[in-house]
């Protein structure tokens, strides 16, 4: 068995070649064109930045268009980071403020957009960006290039089979600006929101649990023992992380983890290039599907 301390390591150059070819072949298969056009919703975050970089390598910057889609509460730094990617790649871009579109939904229901439920409104914003992206694809005769999960609304979900830790490795390899690699991941749906604060654990902690649970098929108690033995010096509550992600199944308590709770989001996905040893729904099945 591979040393668990290095389970998240990838060969970034090999992964890079696989994903670049996936862009080329998917465009050819869907459009029948050797070089297709792609639209990327560029948020200023790491995922969309790496997708834009790979798209330019695959089909050239002249065939990639970025959309910057701020809402009135979006952080100015997000637009600045998105523009760093645009300028580094020399790609065309459009800025569309989605405030009127999002607020219009609430106004059509006679609701106050300023008082809307934050989570529900975040979902509206994400889907509005999806709509803007698809409208641009039709206008430009292009395909939508997706990022990790989200609404899975894309022709090619490029990095869905990579953990965030691995995405960062790949980003460094292809030259994504360091400020974007280092920034705290955020959906930018409200001020000061970050993914890791929402989850309660760092992405490294999450990835360290998931790679053992999904890729290695380890049981929760085995994962806890391994992480405490190999990484107990990181000031991470590994027991709590495993329980949150993998669930609890004891005589005293029974509750699903985030892997099972989020299972429905992994259905009906677009094309996903195969990278990892085990992919959820292909090589890993939730316990309820096979009686564990």
The overall pTM is greater than 0.75: yes
Regions of the chain short of the pLDDT cut 70:
1-5, 147-152, 189, 266-271, 280-282, 284-292
pLDDT of residue 166: 95
Question: What pLDDT is stored for residue 35 in this prediction?
Answer: 77
- The span from the CA of 150 to the CA of 18, in Å, is 22
Residues 6+ apart with CB under 8 A from 257: 243, 244, 245, 246, 247, 248
Q: Are 126 and 147 in contact (CB under 8 A)?
A: no
Instruction: Evaluate the CA torsion angle 53, 173, 199, 149 in order and state its sign.
Output: positive
Q: What is the pLDDT of residue 146?
A: 82
Max CA separation in the chain (angstroms): 60
Domain ranges of the chain: 4-187+263-289
pLDDT value at position 33?
A: 74
The pLDDT mean for the chain works out to 88
d(CA 287, CA 247): 11
Judge: domain 4-187+263-289, CATH 3.40.50.620: yes
State residue 292's pLDDT score. Answer: 46
Please state, in angstroms and rounded to a whole number, the distance separating the CA atoms of residues 223 and 228.
Answer: 8
φ, ψ of residue 100 in degrees (nearest 5): -65, -35
**Residues shown for the chain:** 292
pLDDT at 252: 82
pLDDT at 185: 87
Burial label for 14, CB within 10 Å (0-12, 13-18, 19+), is exposed
CB-based contact 223:209 (threshold 8 Å):
yes
pLDDT value, residue 221: 94
Helix (H) or strand (E) run with residue 144 in it: strand 143-146
Position 262 scores a pLDDT of 83
């Amino acid at each position: 068995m591979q040393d668990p301390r290095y389970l998240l390591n990838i060969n970034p150059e090999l992964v890079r070649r696989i994903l670049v070819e996936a862009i080329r072949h998917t465009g050819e298969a869907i459009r029948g064109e050797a070089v297709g056009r792609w639209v990327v919703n560029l948020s200023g975050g790491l995922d969309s930045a790496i997708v834009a970089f790979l798209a330019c390598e695959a089909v050239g910057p002249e065939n990639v268009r970025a959309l910057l889609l701020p809402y009135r509460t979006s952080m100015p730094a997000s637009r600045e980071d998105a523009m760093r990617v645009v300028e580094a790649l020399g790609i065309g871009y459009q800025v569309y403020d989605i405030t009127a579109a999002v607020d219009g939904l609430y106004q059509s229901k006679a609701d106050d957009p300023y008082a809307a439920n934050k989570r529900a409104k975040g979902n509206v914003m994400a889907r509005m960006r999806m709509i803007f992206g698809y409208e641009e694809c039709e206008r430009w005769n292009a395909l939508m290039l997706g990022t990790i999960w989200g609404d899975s609304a894309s022709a090619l979900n490029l990095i869905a089979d990579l953990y965030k830790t691995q995405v960062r490795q790949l980003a460094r390899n292809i030259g994504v600006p360091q400020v974007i690699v280092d920034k705290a991941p955020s959906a930018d749906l409200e001020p000061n929101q970050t993914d890791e604060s929402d989850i309660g654990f760092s992405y490294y902690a999450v990835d360290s649990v998931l790679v053992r649970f999904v890729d290695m098929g380890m049981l929760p108690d085995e994962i806890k023992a391994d992480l405490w033995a190999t990484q107990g010096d990181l000031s991470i509550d590994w027991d709590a992380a495993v329980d949150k992600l993998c669930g609890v199944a004891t005589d005293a308590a029974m509750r699903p983890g985030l892997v099972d709770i989020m299972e429905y989001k992994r259905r009906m996905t677009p094309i996903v290039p195969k990278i990892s040893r085990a992919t959820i729904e292909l090589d890993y099945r939730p316990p309820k599907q096979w009686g564990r």
